[in-house]
Structure 1
Amino acid sequence: MATALSFLPALILVLIISVQGTSTGDRCTASSSIEVQTINTGEPAGGGDTVFEVRVKNLCPCSVRDVRLDGGGFATTVEVDPAVFRAADDGGGAYLVNGGGPIASMATVAFRYAWDHFFQITPASLEEDQCAS
């Protein structure tokens, strides 16, 4: 019995660390915390293009900001609100979501574009903003 009790403090410490995580900075990465879904709406656009809707969802338990996506050669024949999705100013080929502003946990930012095919848009980077924990 005494041997079992000597392991109890170590077990409690391991459980606390596993529940809390190591730090908020280690919790959220672009690849695991940002979900990008592209949906063919079936709506036609001028010139024979199709309208696609892109939904960018923050799966991180924290608010994130400066969310950047790899656009995979993104182009569109309809205007996309630059406050929602635009080429980042750094010239690195990434696209900024929500003007770089915060996206709350579990919130979705969406935009539409039109082209003759969809683009593979993937998460590139983010910064944690605020966490409720």
Structure 2
Amino acid sequence: MKHILIIAAWSVATGAIAGHELDDRDLTNGQALYVEQCASCHGANLEGQPDWRTPDEDGVLPAPPHDKTGHTWHHDNQLLFEYTRLGGEEALAARGVTGFASGMPGFGDTLAEEDIWDILAYIRSTWPDRVQEIQVGRNPPHD
């Protein structure tokens, strides 16, 4: 009984019971779409571009890794979704961050919303359990 209560408390705290956006997604579709739409910039193994923390001559950062070495898992799901759908600059501007030169284009005209969620779920599925748990905790609980 004690283990059930602990699991239930963890699930409520992380949103796992309450319909987490990245739960129950089509990871096969996400992986295929990642390879087709994302890997050319973010790497076939989610490794990102070299020197991804150093802006180029235009002030644009190279594509970061989406594996555990990058910062993708530091962000909440909604920002990741908006960043993918709208593009980096527009997504950040919607949150009040202006003047950031992002090389991330928006895929809202290319990918369906469900496909974006599948890609994000695939990316999350590659992270170690501990990293996944930390990232889940960055999301507001769902009703």
* Structure-1-length-normalised TM-score: 0.29
* Larger helix percent: 2
* Larger strand percent: 1
